[in-house]
């Protein structure tokens, strides 16, 4: 039986594993049921001789006794020395949101697709990697080196309680290659991602009675001046800036800025449905999400925002502050790196054509493997359509998972020298 036929014979098992993962509602925030998902992965891999370690990322953002940040790392030693290949998948999923026509945690199979939150991003990819490794082990029980599979926390909120924590512990120091089965497409190799800088801008004013706003200083109007200046000068400048990185979709090859949230005036209190008091707001906050290119130094990105705020003060004088929230530099693995080359050969063998090389518009856990773990031999490859991530009626096609599992099994054999 060929490898592709072997994996196809495991279709029901692959579907059932994906469904079991999706039916654990690992919502982040706040970070629910992480240990349950880790237990499922560890129990599954124990059948194939993997020893699992549970690692809590204590002290990382969001970790608490109520919502502990659990990760699992499963490892199987080979019959003789050799490289270590690591498959990493995040177990957390984003909020459900509105607009679903199926139960987001039922994992129903409809017309060859598994529907549910996290099917595409990325429990389907994690399940495909597990089945790929199991099929590989049945063919190569005496393989050299070692194989690791991890299920990690908090990728959707930066990965600091997951892969970043493992990297700080030195858990990638012995690893030769990492494959992250994010949903970039079964015939694509994702080499990396753009950079990101999140910051909070605050404008200051002066409180006064709402009937006499001339005695106060409205912080929300000041924030409006900032947004107006961004519309007039910053957004056009970013749209005109393009990268040589093969980012998908093509619109993301320009620099982008998202105004993530604006909060001004009196806070809204849960359970209170009365009217607000008539006051001039003395404070307004806006969170920005700036995605930048390899050609843009982070210092220049920050200076450009500061210059925009200074220009806004010419419209109306006001005080402002800006606070860094987090930043990640762009990363891009060479397409000739060993992990890229092995996946390229596996894709060509599976589909009869060369892969497309792409870069993700958003960051994922490759950043921590590269920047903290000091391992550049890392890419994303997995089933699913990126545009479906975080959407209502998210799904992953069973056929895509089977094909991706075949590619991952072939790439694993290649990386281990078989």
Once rounded to an integer, what is the mean pLDDT over residues 255-275?
A: 90
pLDDT at 315 > cutoff 90: no
Q: pLDDT band for position 24 (50/70/90)?
A: very high
| 416 pLDDT tier (thresholds 50, 70, 90) | very high
Which of 282, 306, 328 delimits the end of a domain? 328
* pLDDT mean over 202-213: 96
Per the structure, the complete domain to which residue 189 belongs is given by: 3-193+331-415
Say whether 90 sits in a helix, a strand or coil.
Answer: strand
Q: What is the CATH number of the domain that holds 250?
A: 3.30.70.360
Model confidence at 266: pLDDT above 90: no
For the segment 205-210, the average pLDDT, to the nearest whole number, is 96
pLDDT at residue 273 greater than cutoff 90: no
Cα separation of 178 and 86, whole Å? 5
64 and 177, same domain (yes or no): yes
Same structural domain, 251 and 371:
no
Q: Does 188 lie in the same domain as 169?
A: yes
**Domain identity same for 170 and 294:** no
Average pLDDT over residues 336-361: 97
Task: Report how many domains make up the chain.
Answer: 2
Please give the pLDDT value at position 366.
Answer: 97
Over 90: is that where the pLDDT of 271 sits? no
- Report how far apart, in Å, the C-alpha atoms of 113 and of each of 43, 116, 412 are: 26, 10, 26
In a 3-state reduction of DSSP, which class is residue 135?
Answer: helix
pLDDT digits (tens, 9 = 90+) for 61-98: 999 999 999 999 999 999 999 999 999 999 999 999 99
- Domain boundary among the residues 301, 328, 355 is at 328
Distance spanning both ends of the chain, measured CA to CA? 18
Q: What is the pLDDT at residue 199?
A: 98
Model confidence pLDDT, tens digit, residues 369-386: 999 999 999 999 999 999
79 touches 158 (CB < 8 A): no
- In this prediction, residues 129-157 reach a mean pLDDT of 97
Exposure string (b/e) for 67-105, b if CB count within 10 Å is 16 or more?
bbbbbbbbbbebeeebbbbbbbbbbbbbebeeeeeeebb
Q: Say yes or no: 115 and 254 in one domain.
A: no
Q: What whole-number percentage of the chain has pLDDT above 90? A: 96
39 and 125: one domain?
yes
């Amino acid at each position: 039986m060929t490898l592709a036929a072997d994996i196809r014979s495991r279709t029901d098992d692959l579907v059932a594993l994906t469904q079991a993962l999706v039916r654990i509602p690992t919502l982040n925030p706040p970070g629910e049921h992480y240990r349950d998902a880790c237990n499922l992965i560890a129990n599954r891999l124990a059948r194939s001789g993997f020893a699992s370690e549970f690692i809590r990322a204590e002290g990382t953002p969001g970790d608490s006794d109520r919502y502990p940040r659990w990760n699992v790392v499963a490892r199987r030693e080979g019959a003789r020395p050799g490289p270590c290949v690591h498959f990493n998948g995040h177990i957390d999923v984003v909020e459900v949101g509105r607009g679903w026509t199926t139960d987001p945690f039922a994992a129903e199979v409809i017309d060859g697709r598994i529907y549910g939150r996290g099917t595409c991003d990325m429990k389907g990819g994690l399940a495909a990697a597990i089945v790929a490794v199991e099929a590989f082990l049945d063919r190569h029980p005496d393989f050299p080196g070692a194989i690791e599979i991890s299920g990690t926390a908090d990728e959707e909120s930066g990965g600091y309680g997951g892969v970043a924590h493992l990297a700080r512990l030195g858990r990638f120091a012995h690893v030769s290659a990492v494959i992250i089965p994010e949903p970039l497409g079964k015939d694509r190799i994702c080499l990396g991602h753009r950079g990101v800088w999140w910051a909070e801008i605050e404008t200051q004013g002066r409180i006064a009675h709402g009937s006499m706003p001339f005695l106060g200083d409205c912080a929300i109007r000041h924030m409006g001046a900032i947004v107006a200046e961004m519309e007039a000068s910053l957004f056009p400048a970013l749209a005109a800036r393009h990268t040589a990185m093969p980012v998908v979709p093509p619109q993301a090859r320009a620099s982008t800025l998202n105004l993530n949230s604006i909060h001004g005036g009196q806070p809204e209190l849960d359970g209170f449905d009365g009217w607000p008091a008539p006051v001039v707001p003395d404070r307004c906050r806006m969170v920005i999400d700036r995605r930048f290119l390899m050609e843009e130094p982070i210092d220049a990105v920050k200076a450009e925002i500061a210059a925009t705020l200074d220009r806004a003060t010419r419209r109306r004088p006001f005080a402002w502050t800006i606070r860094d929230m987090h930043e990640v530099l762009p990363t891009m693995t060479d397409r000739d790196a060993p992990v890229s080359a092995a996946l390229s050969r596996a894709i060509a063998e599976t589909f009869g054509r060369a892969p497309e090389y792409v870069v993700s518009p958003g960051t994922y856990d490759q950043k921590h493997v590269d920047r903290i773990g000091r391992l550049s031999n890392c890419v994303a490859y997995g089933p699913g359509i990126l545009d479906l991530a975080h959407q209502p009626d998210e799904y992953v096609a069973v056929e895509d998972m089977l094909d991706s599992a075949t590619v991952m099994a072939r790439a694993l054999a290649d990386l281990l020298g078989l």
